[in-house]
A and B are shown apart, each in its own frame.
Chain A
Amino acid sequence: MIHKVARLDELRVTLQYWEECPSHDQALARLRKVLEDEGVHVDIELVKVESEEQAMRLRFVGSPTILVNDVDIDPPTTSYYGLTCRAYRLEDGRISPLPSERMIRRAVQEAKVNLKKV
């Protein structure tokens, strides 16, 4: 039986942000903490979204957006793309401009599991 060992350095982690929304620094710090906790040592790709055209091209629904292996950690239900701040609904029902640590962690853990299946 061959067990596939996950190559955690195969994880691609991206933070897309618009500078006018002030939560991206905190989102980055939260993301780094989760990656550290999960033993994922990869560079985070930072994508600064600067124009409506770029937002449309990236299908950017708002800042901050975190992608793990190109999958949004909180798949949006809107198709409005543009330079705007993003609202996350947290586990307790509150709205926040930041994804929760739990949200980020769940996405990273799922990506790790999916790597093992390949």
Chain B
Amino acid sequence: MKIGDKAINFSLVGIDDKVHSLNDYSGSYVAVIFSCNHCPYVRAWEDRMVKIQADYEKKGVQILAINANDEVKYPDDSFPNMKQRAREKKFNFPYLRDKDQTVAKSYGAQRTPEVFLFDANRVLRYHGAIDDNYDDPNAVRAHYLREALESLLQTREIATPETPPVGCTIKWK
């Protein structure tokens, strides 16, 4: 998927055992983030994901985290473990399971975490990493996702619409 493309709708089961579709969030800015449980890059960034959701929820932003990993080779990424992780880290966004990996493949996702930020018209406006420092949240210099959200909210062009996603490879079956 490239900047300017329209989002591909999906319907996936979330950890609340309900089906979530992209179309359910019409009118919102939606950040689809391919994620998982086991990857240390996700684990380094997930508190920041929670913080971003908290900071921007009232401004009409919704994060949807999607785990597409193969849970046979990576049992930490199983659906029950997703529920546990969400409880432990107090996820304030839906955490969805892409069991047959169809959504990840249709989006061209390669890494976890990997962000696809769509505007209210479902046009892809930012793709890539959450920020520029997976290791130390206090040493972040470029808050890519936050800056993209601010630009969208202020109807400005996003200065950095694309960055290389940094993280583990998606674990394909």
Contacts and interface: CB of A to CB of B under 8 A. Distances in A.
A87 B38 CA distance: 8
Interface residues of B, number: 14
Contacts of B44: 94-97
Interface string B124-147: 000000000011000000000000
Given A96-B134, A97-B135, A84 B168 contact: yes
A112 interface: no
B43 interface: yes
Contacts, number: 36
A21 B168 contact: yes
Nearest to B137: A94
A97 B134 contact: yes
B166 A87 contact: no
Contacts of B169: 20
A88 B43 CA distance: 10
Interface of A: 20-23, 26, 82, 84-88, 94-98
Contacts of B40: 85-88, 95-97
A85 B77 CA distance: 14
A86 B39 CA distance: 8
B135 A98 contact: yes
Interface string B94-138: 000000000000000000000000000000000000000011000
B161 interface: no
A88 B44 CA distance: 10
Given A20-B169, A21-B168, A85 B135 contact: no
Nearest to B166: A22
B41 interface: yes
Interface in B1-42: 38-41
B168 A26 contact: no
Contacts of B43: 87, 95
Contacts of B134: 23, 96-97
Contacts of A84: 38, 74, 168
Given A21-B168, A84-B168, A26 B39 contact: no
B165 to A, nearest CB: 10
B166 A85 contact: no
A41 to B, nearest CB: 26
Contacts of A98: 135
Contacts of B73: 82
Nearest to A21: B168
12 contacts: A20-B169, A21-B168, A22-B167, A84-B74, A84-B168, A85-B168, A86-B40, A87-B38, A94-B44, A97-B40, A97-B135, A98-B135
Given A26-B135, A85-B41, 8 more contacts: A22-B166, A22-B167, A84-B38, A85-B40, A86-B40, A87-B40, A96-B44, A97-B41
